[in-house]
Amino acid sequence: MSVVSQVILKADDELRYLTSGELKGVADFFKTGEQRTRIAEILAENEKKIVDEASKNLWKIHPDYISPGGNAYGSRERAQCIRDYGWYLRLVTYGVLAGNQEPIESIGLVGAREMYNSLGVPVPGMADAIKCLKSAALDLLSDADAAATAPYFDIIIQAMS
């Protein structure tokens, strides 16, 4: 849910008009709209490049994952890992566009640790994977855009840590 939706719903629940502070927050949200859209577009257009770079770096950190007996050993298992990396990158774009972490939390983090634990996927490895995604993605962005994007990766990393 975007900042605008949150502010409106809160005011409506309280049967009141938006306060000047809330209106300022909405105005600030609109001012960053072009930047948020640009970031989402860059990440979406470069998904394959970002995921490939992140995967390469993760396998360097955890070569045991792609070794016989590892969670990403075999083409099917590796493809599932790469699919998940793309999914998390997409979640980051949702957070960036919304201007808050709610889409990441409600769509992507509810039950993620439990799911990975039940599948025998090393959760600390998922945190490392998101760190690799973050690094690969931020390398493609300007300093200002990277600073605006990094916290959304950090939300996922924190949830996986």
CATH number at residue 91: 1.10.490.20
DSSP secondary structure of 29-68: HHHTHHHHHHHHHHHHHTHHHHHHHHHHHHHHH-GGGSST
Q: Do 100 and 82 lie in a common domain?
A: yes
Judge whether residue 111 has pLDDT over 70: no
The pLDDT value given to residue 82:
84
Q: Which of 46-60, 82-96, 136-150 has the lowest mean pLDDT?
A: 82-96
Per-position b or e across 137-155, b if 16+ CB within 10 A of its CB: bbebbeeebeebbeebbeb
Q: Do 132 and 96 lie in a common domain?
A: yes
* Cα 60 → chain centroid: 22
The residue with greater pLDDT, 114 or 42, is 42
The 8 Å CB, 24+ separation contacts for 44-52 are 44/90, 44/93, 46/137, 46/140, 47/86, 47/89, 47/90, 49/136, 49/140, 50/89, 50/133, 50/136, 50/137, 50/140, 51/82, 51/85, 51/86, 51/89, 51/133, 51/136
pLDDT, mean of residues 74-95: 88
Q: Do 95 and 152 lie in a common domain?
A: yes
pLDDT, mean of residues 90-115: 85
Q: Do 42 and 102 lie in a common domain?
A: yes
Question: Residue 11 is part of which domain span?
Answer: 1-31
Domains in the chain: how many in total? 2
Q: Do 142 and 152 lie in a common domain?
A: yes
Q: Do 24 and 103 lie in a common domain?
A: no
Percent over 90 (pLDDT), the chain: 62
Q: Do 65 and 6 lie in a common domain?
A: no
The pLDDT value given to residue 1:
67
Do residues 127 and 160 touch, judged by C-beta distance below 8 A? yes
Q: Do 21 and 79 lie in a common domain?
A: no
Q: Do 23 and 74 lie in a common domain?
A: no
pLDDT, mean of residues 80-99: 91
The pLDDT value given to residue 120:
73
Q: Which of 7-11, 66-70, 128-132, 134-138 has the lowest mean pLDDT?
A: 66-70
Q: Do 68 and 8 lie in a common domain?
A: no
The pLDDT value given to residue 125:
83
